[in-house]
A and B are shown apart, each in its own frame.
Chain A
Amino acid sequence: MAIANVNPNRMELSKLKKRLETARRGHKLLKDKRDGLMKEFLEIVRVNKALRETVEANLKGVYENFLVASAIMSKQVLENSLMFPKHRVEVGIQTKNIMSVNVPVFNFEQKQDDLYSYGFFGTSGQLDASINRLGEVLPDLLALAEKEKSAQLLAAEIEKTRRRVNALEYVMIPQFTEKIRFIKMKLDESERSTTTRLMKVKDMMIKEMLSKNNMS
């Protein structure tokens, strides 16, 4: 472990101890965050999957009807009928905070509930059916957008958090404990050497005193 550049003194030791404590606390917090995010994420992704299945199935119906309509009607009439839509979709974006991730919440407003921007003359029933169906799918489609975006954002955040947790758990914290151990051992070692030195000096002094007494 990288303990090459550590000064083995008490100052460094107390500093490292503080950092270790912070790292431990951060690790715990991040771990909780990760678990919380994961719980939310799994819920959202499950909804997301279900929504996507229904939307894709419904869109198929829309397309089928539209295809028939475009086969029956001339291209020009079809385009003219759809040229000026009466219906408008506007979306308000709010953000919801899930564990410090800002997730969009789309609440949409439909301007008019009459979907048909054309008269009955010259247009085929399939077009009506197609558009009607689309109107039905619309709320799901927007909900899908919301959930899918949320899932993507949460996934990114979870990935980041997991990396941080791992970095703390497997790199930072072991490094700190190792450094602290190293310093403690060094300090103990120097303490022991001081003690022995003192004992040695004491011995020498006693010997000197004794020899002086013998001389006199």
Chain B
Amino acid sequence: MYRVAIIGDRESVLSFKAVGFDVADTTDSAEVLSAFNDFVSKNYAIIFVTEQVAQLIETEIESYKDRPYPAVIVIPNNRGSSGMGMDAIKKSVERAVGADILFKEEN
């Protein structure tokens, strides 16, 4: 069985401990990176990262995009969503279709 991890700032991710995620509460760029690599090497199935953290390790996240797992999923932190997760969906739509067809009606 594989496990689930989350990386983010303390206030946002601490509550995930209760549902059994493995939590790395840090926002320091080097620590985040080592935590991320640690989770990856231990074969975690899903790694959630807050938007704030995702910005720090963008290239790493990008490099795991084409592999079946770990799934690296961006979630908003407690300061609300900056739309980064939606952007990721938008990007994959653009990559596949060549144009953004899902979000057009909104803007």
Q: Which residues of A contact B (CB under 8 A)?
A: 37-38, 41, 45-46, 48-49, 52, 55-56, 59-60, 62-64, 66-67, 70, 78-79, 82-83, 85, 87-93, 95, 102-104, 106, 108-111, 115-117, 127, 130-131, 134-135, 138, 141-142, 144-146, 148-149, 151-156, 158-159, 162
Contact = CB atoms under 8 A, between A and B. Distances in A.
B36 interface: no
A94 B75 CA distance: 23
Contact of B89 (A49, A70, A108): A49
10 contacts: A56-B85, A62-B15, A63-B15, A63-B78, A66-B14, A89-B19, A89-B21, A144-B73, A148-B73, A149-B68
- Judged by DSSP, the binding face of A is helix
Contact of B2 (A90, A116, A148): A90
A74 B1 CA distance: 35
A66 B78 contact: yes
Interface centre among A135, A145, A158 (most CB of B within 10 A): A145
Nearest to B77: A63
A41 B17 CA distance: 33
A215 to B, nearest CB: 83
B11 A159 contact: no
Contacts of B89: 45, 48-49, 52, 148, 151
Contacts of B46: 91, 106, 142, 145
B93 A155 contact: yes
Interface of B: 1-4, 11-12, 14-21, 45-46, 48, 65-66, 68-69, 71, 73, 75-78, 80-81, 85-86, 88-89, 92-93, 95-98, 102
A110 B18 CA distance: 12
A84 B21 CA distance: 11
A86 to B, nearest CB: 8
B95 A155 contact: yes
B71 A149 contact: yes
Given A89-B3, A145-B46, A59 B19 contact: no
A91 B45 contact: yes
A115 B19 contact: yes
Contacts of A102: 68
Across the A-B interface, the 5 shortest Cβ-Cβ residue pairs:
A149-B71, A63-B78, A155-B92, A90-B1, A88-B20
